Amino acid sequence: MIEMKDVTKVYDNGITAIQDLSVLIEQGEFVYVVGPSGAGKSTFMRLIYREVLPTKGTVEVTDFDVAKIKRKEIPLLRRQVGVVFQDFKLLPTLTVYENIAYAMEVLGKSPRQISSRVKEVLKLVDLEQKENMLPNELSGGEQQRVAIARAIANMPRVLIADEPTGNLDPETSKGIMEILEHINAQGTTVIMATHNSEIVNARKHRVIVIDDGRITRDDEEGGYSFEN
Ligand code: ADP
């Protein structure tokens, strides 16, 4: 469960990116976050994975109040929230296997746990054959699948995807969506910011429109439009 109450985020340069925003996202939902560039979508996502803190209001993520959380609890929150970016952000000198294993090592998992889970997530994204390759030996779609595998390695309750198909062609994007929907069907909340109107219109989920730092529309099964 994610709940924002009257959240405002003002960056140090004085820009208000999110303004008096309240929203409730239940465990297991699939939510698209759409809206014009500069509307505040990335900031909305960053608030959820605690990359930024609210200036005002409260952000609750799986029972944690992100602004009040104790330093030693931060890894517990990070464990609950996996993140995927448009530009993949894989570590270039590590293999596919090592990129995923690393995310588990930092949480102190044992080599045995790591080996079995990495194999499991590589199977889920259909990359078992490529575990020893480096990121630059993979296509964009394959790199994004590795990034997704890494994001879910620690079994987070929430998966945040900021423009995950932004650098990918339509066919590859479709494969990424199928993986995200599969992960969602297993109970993980998926929150995806996107400009991809075809995906939003074709694969129906809740749509939250953010404009000028505010939610201007929130539809159970909406399409891609900034009107109304
Ligand atoms: P979107 O993801 O919808 O394009 P963002 O959340 O990235 O929107 O940005 C919202 C507003 O906040 C924009 O005006 C942007 O310039 C500003 N902004 C984003 N990140 C920062 C930052 N780290 N420091 C200062 N201003 C920022």
Tell me the per-residue pLDDT of 24-38, one tens digit each, with 9 for 90 and over.
999 999 999 999 999
Ligand 1 touching residue 43 (CB < 6 A)? yes
User: Average pLDDT, whole number, for the chain?
Assistant: 95
Whether the predicted pLDDT of 197 surpasses 60: yes
Cα distance between residue 56 and residue 141, in whole Å: 38
Cα distance between residue 53 and residue 133, in whole Å: 37
Predicted TM-score (pTM) of this structure:
0.95
- In the reported structure, the alpha carbon of residue 171 is separated from the centroid of ligand 1 by a whole-number distance in angstroms of 30
Ligand 1 touching residue 111 (CB < 6 A)? no
Q: Which two tokens stand for residue 108?
A: 């102190």
Tell me the per-residue pLDDT of 141-184, one tens digit each, with 9 for 90 and over.
999 999 999 999 999 999 999 999 999 999 999 999 999 999 99
Count the neighbouring beta carbons within 10 Å of the beta carbon of residue 92. Answer: 8
pLDDT band at 75; cut points 50, 70, 90: confident
pLDDT recorded at residue 172: 93
> What stretch of H or E contains 118?
helix 111-124
- In the reported structure, the alpha carbon of residue 101 is separated from the centroid of ligand 1 by a whole-number distance in angstroms of 32
Ligand 1 touching residue 17 (CB < 6 A)? yes
- How many CA atoms lie within 13 Å of 65's alpha carbon, on the beta-carbon side? 7
- In the reported structure, the alpha carbon of residue 40 is separated from the centroid of ligand 1 by a whole-number distance in angstroms of 6
Q: What is the DSSP letter of 133?
A: S
Cα distance between residue 202 and residue 53, in whole Å: 34
Ligand 1 touching residue 11 (CB < 6 A)? yes
